[in-house]
Structure 1
Amino acid sequence: MPILKIARMGHPVLLREAEPVDDPTHPEIRRLIADMVETMQDSAGIGLAAPQVHVPLRLFVWRDAAGASVLVNPELAPLGEETESAWEGCLSIPGLRGSVRRPRRIRWRGLDAEGNPVEGEAEGITARVMQHETDHLDGILYPMRMEDHSLFGFTEELARAAGSAPR
């Protein structure tokens, strides 16, 4: 399976809304998912959306304790009003981090790689990754969500200023 080229900030594919996936079981979609998982792992990422690999489709992969997962045609909704700020990075914006406020808990639903409906709830880092990747499907990059751009910078500089690396 090939490692896919990751689109970087400035590429138009990252700024458009992605199209729904008609058939998650189609061989090309299965191959895309497998290649995205390998690309995410090779890049030491914890999430990767199809537009980031130049494919404007509504699907993303992410890593959690159970391994790699996929969500096709995701729909997310906040659970409650509690939010939290945390450092985010992005494979499409290498070397930079920013503090982004997001809902702490979400409800999600979509399709798995077999085309079966799946749904659940997520909180903490999993909820953050799912929101970040869904933003990619809507043409939104995390700096667009930032409230305070003084909390945006190169990872190395932020680490020096704080005495440790932001996460």
Structure 2
Amino acid sequence: MNITRRALLAGTAALPLVASAQTASGVGRRTMNHVKDHITRLVDQHRDGVAPIVSLGDPVLRQPADPFDGQVDDKLLAEFIELMQRTMRAAPGVGLAAPQIGVPVRIAVLEDPATVSDEVAEARHRYPLEFFAAINPDYRPNGHKRRGFYEGCLSMPGYTGVVNRPYSVHATYTDPTGHPHHKTFTGWQARIVQHETDHLRGTVYVDKLEPRSLSTTENYLDNWNDPIPTRAAQALRFHLD
């Protein structure tokens, strides 16, 4: 997920494998080998750098990612997550899903320093989110409250649009050490969790945005960069929760 001003100006934001049936057909082995080979290649090629980010239109962004089910060992998993972290921070963004660097596996990294004004922080309920990696994440709405704000995406540079999303979600995920987590996120943190988890489902934010809100980032910064997009909703005539 991409929501920082510098990024905008630059054009930049589990089901287990069924071993018995899939192994018999060879599908499980092919899936595991594909993911392992792809991760290994990326880590080797970008050991001290960042991975290239896949742009919208690449089929990897439009298919549900495979569950992570031990396709790589702990060491390689840690190196892959470090690569994702470096790539996310360099972009810069506040989240990155593995398909965004071409790997169809259910892993995402999230972090938000929330370097915004007090006014924006209060209006958007945007507060710092410490870095964490989520393996096989999922979420469901917590209550009926919804809020709409502009979002961007590292895989669709140059554009931004308003997405009305649940204000709070219950999320489940596993951390890289194998420990399960059940956590409630609210405000902007919930937005980041939803955005990145959607990527792992083959869904991009443009699938959920208010079509009339879609804007180039340049026009957004010049015209609609308010803490809450009320003026934009009135002028462009789109729905805002």
Q: Same fold (TM over 0.5)?
A: yes
The reply to whether residue 44 of structure 1 matches residue 92 of structure 2 is yes
Distance 1:161 1:123, change over 3 A: same
Out of 161, 164, 167, the residue aligned to residue 104 of structure 1 is 167
Whether the aligned pair in 1 keeps the contact of 2:96 and 2:110 (CA below 8 Å) is yes
Q: CA deviation at 1:31?
A: 1.3
Larger strand fraction of residues: 1
Structure 2 alignment gaps of length 5 or more:
1-47, 113-127, 230-241
Letter in 2 for 1:158: Y
Provide, for residues 73-93 of structure 1, a one-character-per-residue CA deviation record: whole Å limited to 9, x for no partner. Answer: 012111001111111000001
The question of whether the paired residues in 1 share the 8 Å contact of 2:135 and 2:175 is answered with yes
1:139 is aligned with what amino acid?
Answer: G
Is 1:158–1:165's contact at 8 Å kept on the other side of the alignment?
no
Q: Which residue identity does 1:50 align to in structure 2? A: A
CA 1:145/1:102 → structure 2, altered by over 3 Å: closer, same or farther? same
Tell me the CA shift for residue 67 of structure 1: 3.3
Q: Is the 8 A contact 2:97 2:199 kept in 1?
A: yes
- Which whole-Å CA distance do the structure 2 matches of 1:164 and 1:110 have between them? 33
Are residues 126 and 164 of structure 1, via their aligned partners in 2, closer, same or farther at CA, if it must alter by over 3 Å?
closer
Residues 166 and 42 of structure 1: CA distance in aligned 2, closer, same or farther (over 3 Å):
farther
Preserved CA contact (<8 Å) 1:156 1:165:
no
What is the CA–CA distance in structure 2 between the aligned matches of 1:84 and 1:35, rounded to whole Å? 32
Given that 1:49 and 1:59 are in contact with CA atoms closer than 8 Å, whether structure 2 keeps it comes out as yes
Quote the residue 1:83 is aligned against: 146
Cα distance between partner residues in 2 of 1:166 and 1:89: 15
TM-score relative to the length of structure 1:
0.92
Q: Aligned partners of 2:203, 2:228: CA distance in 1, in Å?
A: 22
TM-score by length of structure 2 reads 0.65
- Counterpart CA distance in 1 for 2:104 and 2:66 is 6
Q: How far did residue 153 of structure 1 move?
A: 1.4
SS of alignment partner, residue 136 of structure 1: helix
Q: Deviations over 1:106-147 (max 9, x none)?
A: 01111001111111100011100000001100111111111x
1:95 aligns with 2:158: yes
Q: Which residue of 1 aligns with 2:215?
A: 153
Out of 87-96 and 23-32, give the one that drifted further. Answer: 23-32
Unpaired segments ≥5 residues, structure 1: none
State the one-letter code of the partner of 1:41: R
Aligned alpha-carbon RMSD (Å): 1.9
Q: Give the aligned length.
A: 166
Q: Which has the higher helix share?
A: 2
- 1:35-85 per-position Cα deviation (integer Å, ceiling 9, x unaligned): 000000001100000000101000100103353211100121110011111
Change (3 A) 1:166 1:10: farther
2:176 is paired with a residue whose SS is coil
Change (3 A) 1:25 1:119: farther
Q: Secondary structure at the match of 1:29?
A: helix
